[in-house]
Chain A
Amino acid sequence: MSARASGSGTSDQGRYYAGIPMMSYDLVKELVLAVVVIGLIVLGAAFAMSSPDEPPVTIQSWAQADPVDFVTTATAELAGTSESATYGAPYTDGTDGVQWIGPFSPQAFFGNALHLDTAHQFVLDPLTVVAGDSGELHDALAAYGAASADQQSAWTSAYSHALADATVSGGAVTVAAGDYGPVPVLMSNELALARSGNLDGLLLGNSRFYQTNYSAPLLFMADGEYLSSLAEDQHLAGDQWGMMNETGSYPGQVWLLPVSFWYQISPFGTAPNADLVIMLIVGGLLLVLTFVPFIPILRDIPRWIPIHRLIWRRSALRDPGPQRK
């Protein structure tokens, strides 16, 4: 004979469970067993399958693997036409990456926080460090700095077009002859700096010695095609459900499926303001999930779909009876 919860008790739970058969239950033992069982599963998986660790890309490895893409990207950074240069808040004063829904744009509201100058931070400043007080690079930097903005734009634009037919020989990028001003000298030195590995350090350098902010090199790399091509090879791109994928043969962030889903369907995934729209949709759905207890129909579905009858079988609602040996 089991004890039923006392309806005459004074505690809230005593009243709440009135008439319900009660059973002995060891919550502490349950937790200890759960820690052991989960531990065995986790340790077994860790031992048998390890964990993903694809080595990072560096500016050096990018410049060595795909010098034309590197120089094309560096030229766009110099010209101020790269994705980062024209992005807008929070990196620059541009507008290309700023997303709106009608007059609503929290991105624009918070504004440019990083004040990125791709021409100087990614190209001119690192080259200035190694240019010295004379020589071809010093003169090229001086000539570029002395030119008008229109002239600079004409040089970089012409050089960018020429890069479409560039050839690579001995690690150097060669384009057809043209009026590029000092840009080829700047770019050949930028490429050499990158291939030597020095640009990785120069992009992180600051006057404070310690550095853990990788915004500059990561934005630089993200502006090129190389990083995204590696990601697409691993099915990590946004339109490949990449948000929930992982490098190698490991499971990824499966729990992001309700977010990744929206990036796969038109018009959400293809809209210029896709991220803002999808973030608002997902935020709205999260609010709905949070307040399910107060939302008619959604809170009633569990009554209509009798899965609960499988969980609370009739036999389980009666006295628990003798313990199974």
Chain B
Amino acid sequence: MVEGLLSVRDLSKRFGGLIATDGVSLEVIAGEIHALIGPNGAGKTTLIEQLSGAMPPDAGAIRFGSVDITGRPQHERVRLGLARSYQVTSIFPKFTVLDNIALAVQARSGSSVSFWRPRDSETALFDEARRLIGQVGLAGRETALAGTLAHGEQRQLEVGLALATQPKLLLLDEPMAGMGPEESERMIGLIDSLRQNVTVLLIEHDMAAVFRLADRVSVLVFGRVIATGDPVAIRNNAEVKRAYLGDEAAT
């Protein structure tokens, strides 16, 4: 198997009697958009939680670049270049869009244990934040309170927060969740534009989007990766059809 930017080996996580992650092995290669699909309850978000460091696995190993990050706390993983977005929007609703992004820029540009200099006087910080706001398509909304944005805009901000940490690998947990067709189209364009600079592990339900964006696809069912391959191979894979459509359709 190709050595990836992210390699996951035999990752397991169990909640009581439920095995949410059942020996998952996965390679994400630098530069690719790797989609992770699977029916509801397959354990996609649980996997993201473990990869990002929000939840410790019971067993297995996660390597990022040349570093074993299995036991590293989340903030160290972010410093190494592994950032995530959330399926359920998680932003700072009472702060402006600019403040939201500036917080993420601040996190990776020097120490934030600084007590005297007013943060708002750091022009470099805000220039960078404005550039990112433009990149995620929120130009003109800088001074709006994040909580007042439309749902689609909040999803763009959600991705912007992760992007502002300057990740090498971006874990996107259903970025199109709850979006209308027009908003989805904008998000697809945004993810597509990241291709040159950032490796992406994309969890997504919208199959049309997955097959347009993904270089490779992995299918997660009941906590196991049952197939990995290019979109055409996955589309024709009998086991995947069975998992998605039920036994009758596959036979």
Asked if A and B are interacting partners, one says: no
